[in-house]
Structure formats: structure tokens, C-alpha cells
């Protein structure tokens, strides 16, 4: 096929890749800002030009034909090369600019990242930053995110990982609560207290403690459960019970003495503890706005 015939097909191939990756004509249409019928026509034109059926469609499902699988793989490589070309151009810019899409957990965004990100967009006004705040797993490819920031001990394999900070879990209560009900000296005594849990799933009511070779799992029961750290923190400040928080969510109140850490000699396991990590796709050319953002965030965390 000569170049004159090939060039018009490039957009159809890009749409084909999007259809396969989203698994839906309507999702692709919404993503591209066109109608589903327009997406359907693009796929039909591609199939007619190649004289091959690429997608086998029924009213309920869609799957790649044997030829479609091979064509998708090659078209996907084409899209990747196109992104590298854009990245290469952006890397050479002396002034940082461009779109930057970042995803991070809700509590970490609200209580730690927000001032840093606002400082960043003021310092780099030519960067258009889009922040996606979500606690569920973010796929940097499928969700079209450039940088994900999360708290984990298991970074996503295949992505570059830059450690920004560390975050541990802290068990704490107000001085008034501890004065009235006593301070636990051992994890076993947790069962005697009003434990305020996350409450997202049954496992949240089991608190894991380790100390040297000792490992204990304690059933934590109480009068209130909520998957919002600021609301649980308010309950703790009012002396309603004790609870577990990521260190960043409670440090200010520990420093002021409004809450007291309990069982400091024990390590508490669970979600929202580990390394605070920024991750982004591996590439020969890393866009300037990604490098600038991660470097900036790393320097901000170092200053804390």
C-alpha cells in the first residue's frame, strides 16, 4: 500500500486501538468526543481497506479476530511510537509545558499533596495539570494517567518508581479517652476498647500487630466505622474511641498533644502504609513536565 493510501488509515488505526483497549464503541466515542456511529464507521473503513474482519461483534460482546489480534498489536506499537515522538519533542523544550495527568489517593491528596501541587502549578504556569483523586487502583495506561502517587510496599512492576517519603500507621486516642478507659499496654487489650474502624470491608476490623517475632491479629470492634480519615479523626478528638491513621493524617494532632500514640513499640499492618511512591511509564524520552513534577514533589517531601 502506497503512502497516499496509508496516511488516511492512521486515524482509523488509532481509533481501532482505542476500541480494543476500552472494549466498547460507546466508551471510545465518549473518550474521543465523537458519536458511536462515527467510531463504527472508522472501524468499517479500516476493515474494508484491509479486506479483513478485525472485530467479531454480537449484541452482547466484541472480540478480536485472529487477524485483528495481529493488526491490533502492530497498531498499538504505532501508537506507542507516536507517543515517543511527542515525548521526544517535549523533552527538548527549554521551558516546561504541556498536559500532565496525575492520580493520587483522596486523603493523601487533601492533607499532603494539595499545597505541593498548587505550588507546582504556580511555579510552572505553562503546565496544564489534571489531578484525579481516587482510592481505587489506577491503571496508568488504561486510565491515561502520566504519574500515579500511592502508598505501597509493592510498586507496580514495569513502571519507574521514585520514592517520595515513608508513611506508617499510627494507633492513637485522645488524652481524655485514655484517662477514662486506660491506655492499652498490649495488643490483646485492644478488645476492651471502643475501636473506630475504616469499615470498607470485614478485614478492616482485624488489626495486625508485629513486634520482633511476635505477630498478632486482633478483632477490633466499636460503635463507629467510617472510611474517611478526617471524620474518624474528629471522633478520636472527641474521646469516642481509638483508631488507626496514616501518620500524615494525624501528625499535627500528635505534635499538639491533642491525641496520644498507643502501643508505639508495635508495628501496625494494613493499607495506607509503606512508601509514598511516584510512578510513571518507562520510556526513552520522559516528557519534561513529568520529570519536573516528580523532581519537584521529591524536593518538597525532603523539605518536610
Where does a domain end: 82, 114, 144? 82
For residues 236 and 178, membership in a common domain is answered with yes
pLDDT of residue 106: 86
The verdict on residue 92 lying in a domain is no
The verdict on residue 93 lying in a domain is no
The verdict on residue 211 lying in a domain is yes
Per DSSP, helices labelled H in 92-239 are 106-108, 114-123, 175-181, 229-237
For residues 143 and 279, membership in a common domain is answered with yes
CATH number of the domain residue 196 falls in: 3.40.190.290
Task: Report yes or no: 167 and 150 within 8 Å, Cβ to Cβ.
Answer: no
Q: CA-to-CA distance for 275 and 155, rounded, in angstroms?
A: 9
Domain range for 57 is 3-82
The verdict on residue 90 lying in a domain is no
The verdict on residue 285 lying in a domain is yes
Q: What is the mean pLDDT of residues 110-120?
A: 92
Could you read off the pLDDT of 129-167 as tens digits, one per residue?
999 988 777 776 666 889 999 888 788 888 889 999 888
The verdict on residue 91 lying in a domain is no
For residues 133 and 281, membership in a common domain is answered with yes
Q: Identify which of 5, 267, 40 has the alpha carbon closest to the alpha carbon of residue 153.
A: 267
> At 79, is the secondary structure helix, strand, or coil?
helix
Backbone phi, psi, residue 46, to 5°: -65, -45
pLDDT of residue 100: 93
Is the per-residue pLDDT at 272 higher than 80?
no
For residues 118 and 45, membership in a common domain is answered with no
pLDDT category at 179 given cuts 50, 70, 90 is very high
The model's pTM is 0.62
> At 225, is the secondary structure helix, strand, or coil?
strand
Is the per-residue pLDDT at 221 higher than 60?
yes
Give the CA dihedral 266, 271, 272, 274, nearest 10 degrees.
60
For residues 156 and 287, membership in a common domain is answered with yes
The verdict on residue 236 lying in a domain is yes
For residues 114 and 78, membership in a common domain is answered with no
For residues 208 and 65, membership in a common domain is answered with no
The verdict on residue 42 lying in a domain is yes
pLDDT of residue 182: 94
CATH number of the domain residue 36 falls in: 1.10.10.10
CATH number of the domain residue 147 falls in: 3.40.190.10
Residue count (the chain): 304
Map grid coordinates 498478632 to a residue. 216
Taking every pair of C-alpha atoms in the chain, what is the biggest distance, in angstroms? 83
Task: Report yes or no: 47 and 12 within 8 Å, Cβ to Cβ.
Answer: no
Number of structural domains, the chain? Answer: 3
For residues 50 and 175, membership in a common domain is answered with no
Task: Report yes or no: 117 and 133 within 8 Å, Cβ to Cβ.
Answer: no
Q: What is the mean pLDDT of residues 283-296?
A: 86
For residues 254 and 227, membership in a common domain is answered with yes
For residues 219 and 284, membership in a common domain is answered with no
For residues 156 and 139, membership in a common domain is answered with yes
For residues 143 and 184, membership in a common domain is answered with no
Amino acid at each position: 500500500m502506497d503512502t497516499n493510501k496509508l496516511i488516511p488509515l492512521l486515524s482509523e488505526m488509532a481509533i481501532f486501538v482505542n476500541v480494543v483497549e476500552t472494549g466498547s464503541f460507546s466508551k471510545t466515542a465518549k473518550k474521543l468526543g465523537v458519536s458511536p456511529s462515527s467510531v463504527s464507521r472508522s472501524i468499517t473503513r479500516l476493515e474494508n481497506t484491509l479486506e479483513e474482519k478485525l472485530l467479531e461483534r454480537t449484541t452482547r460482546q466484541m472480540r478480536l479476530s485472529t487477524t485483528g489480534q495481529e493488526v491490533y498489536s502492530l497498531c498499538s506499537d504505532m501508537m506507542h511510537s507516536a507517543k515517543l515522538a511527542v515525548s521526544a519533542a517535549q523533552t527538548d523544550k527549554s521551558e516546561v509545558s504541556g498536559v500532565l495527568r496525575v492520580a493520587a489517593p483522596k486523603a493523601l491528596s487533601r492533607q499532603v499533596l494539595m499545597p505541593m501541587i498548587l505550588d507546582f502549578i504556580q511555579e510552572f504556569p505553562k503546565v496544564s495539570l489534571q489531578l484525579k483523586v481516587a482510592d481505587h487502583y489506577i491503571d496508568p495506561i488504561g486510565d491515561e494517567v502520566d504519574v500515579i502517587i500511592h502508598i505501597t510496599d509493592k510498586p507496580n512492576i514495569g513502571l519507574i518508581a521514585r520514592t517520595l517519603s515513608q508513611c506508617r500507621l499510627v494507633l492513637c486516642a485522645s488524652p481524655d479517652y485514655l484517662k477514662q478507659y486506660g491506655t492499652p499496654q498490649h495488643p490483646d487489650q485492644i478488645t476492651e476498647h471502643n475501636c473506630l474502624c475504616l469499615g470498607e470491608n470485614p478485614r478492616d476490623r482485624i488489626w495486625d500487630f508485629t513486634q520482633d517475632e511476635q505477630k498478632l491479629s486482633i478483632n477490633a470492634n466499636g460503635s463507629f466505622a467510617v472510611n474517611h480519615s478526617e471524620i474518624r479523626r474528629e471522633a478520636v478528638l472527641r474521646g469516642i474511641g481509638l483508631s488507626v491513621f496514616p501518620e500524615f493524617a494525624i501528625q499535627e494532632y500528635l505534635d499538639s498533644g491533642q491525641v496520644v500514640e498507643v502501643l508505639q513499640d508495635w508495628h501496625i499492618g494494613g493499607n495506607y502504609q509503606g512508601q509514598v511512591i511516584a510512578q510513571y511509564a518507562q520510556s526513552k524520552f520522559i516528557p519534561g513536565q513529568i520529570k519536573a513534577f516528580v523532581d519537584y514533589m521529591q524536593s518538597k517531601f525532603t523539605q518536610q
